[in-house]
Chain A
Amino acid sequence: MHYLILSKSLTHAQRTARLLQREGVFASVTKAPQSANPGGCTYGVKIGARNLERAQSILQEAGLAAEKLFSVDAHGRINEVEQ
């Protein structure tokens, strides 16, 4: 399982991923599943389950807190996580 931090745009996802990478958290930009965003296409940042707490704290400190967070299982099924 991994987590997906939903971003409103590709640039925003890149900024989020860059920040996490600089802080030593493995993060990669990915296109979000259609069901994650009713508005249509968007991107998100993929992070490992064990890094979630640290990632959230880094993003909060930088004022880039995730608008929506999803857990993603091995089959690509997503579930929104309450923050």
Chain B
Amino acid sequence: MIYLDSAATSLYKPETVPAAMVQALQQMTSPGRGTHESAMAAAECCYQCRERLAKLFHVPGPENVVFTMNATHGLNIAIHSLIHRGSRVLISGYEHNAVTRPLHAYGAEPVIISAPLFAPEQFLREAERLIGTVDAVISTHASNVFGYILPVEQLAELCRRYRKPLILDASQSAGVLEVDFTALGAEFIAMPGHKGLMGPQGTGVLLCKNDTTPLLYGGSGSESRSQTMPDFLPDRLEAGTHNVTGIAGLSAGVKYILEQGCGAIRQRELRLMERFAEQLQDCGELQLFLSSKKELQCGVLSLLPRDMDCNAFAEAMGAENVAVRAGLHCAPLAHQTAGTIGTGTVRFSFSPFNTAAQVEKAAAICKKILKKN
């Protein structure tokens, strides 16, 4: 199989990831629940993972790195901490349902920065026009549908200037783009462990400052006599037994990224995406959502067959052993903004472990399917 769905979940991982998970499963129990060897091995594993994440994302201390189940879980904690009924929240026009559904559930009023694809200046002008009227700002770093990298550094600067708290969704950027928690000054940055960080499904990370509201309540291994959650991180937001096996895999994935460097990973993904797009440039039956500026897109490319349903196209690719995703990608707002809400798109997303031969073959299969149709 040629796997080109890494924006959903990375399938190709460094060999150290499953090895670390097997070791954790066999030798580790639960951190903060004792001082015997297996509990302390788990504690060491979790702490090491926090340290690696703090280093990768420039977080002041490992206690500000909170483990979650996925990015959605982290975003829910962040929104629960900052947003209330009636809050006006400035969001990009490329948000995932992981942001828009919690906002809807809390009765918040989303104020959408509606700017076309790959138009960061227009995005920032619109953000500046609206930011004075809102209580908080939430933005994705890169669109999960189009790979569009939003100008989050400038947006964060606006937030600091207008004193608005910022929540950043780094689901598509963590492990690929530079994400600097301290420089951005965001209140929260949420990310999954199972995409660019190369960890397993069921892992996620929330980087946060100290002012947080728990979403889950339960045992934390600390302040046990109190019936409220501890007032310190990470215990405040980590109720219940940790996913130590997953965290061990995540830690190995993050170690790999620290060794390789985000820049090198991004360059490799970009080269693969460009190679793939080159093969399809002359194909009139397809619309490619490709930016002419490299700095505006990560390794995620949507395309739209002109005379074929997206899901039928993805299914035909699957029948040829190429894994891609079609539809709305849980981000109807992004499609609304880009004008593809009626059709959806077919998404190809690249991993540093893909090869040039794989992407060339996938492009050839695309052409074959369109010809048959």
Contacts and interface: CB of A to CB of B under 8 A. Distances in A.
Contacts of B233: 11
B61 A14 contact: no
Contacts of A29: 35, 40, 43
Contact of A39 (B34, B226, B234): B226
A15 B232 contact: no
A14 B43 contact: yes
Contacts of B226: 39-40
A40 B35 contact: no
B10 to A, nearest CB: 27
Interface SS of chain B: loop
Interface residues of B, number: 24
Interface string A6-33: 0011111011001000000000011100
Contact of A9 (B34, B44, B230): B230
A38 interface: yes
A8 B220 CA distance: 12
A10 B230 contact: no
A56 interface: no
B222 A8 contact: yes
Interface string B112-142: 0000000000000000000000000000000
Contacts of A15: 47, 61-63
A38 to B, nearest CB: 7
Contacts of A51: none
A41 interface: yes
B344 interface: no
Interface of B: 31-32, 34-35, 40, 43-44, 47, 50-51, 61-63, 221-226, 230, 232-235
12 contacts: A9-B222, A9-B230, A9-B234, A11-B62, A11-B63, A11-B234, A11-B235, A15-B47, A31-B35, A39-B223, A39-B225, A41-B221
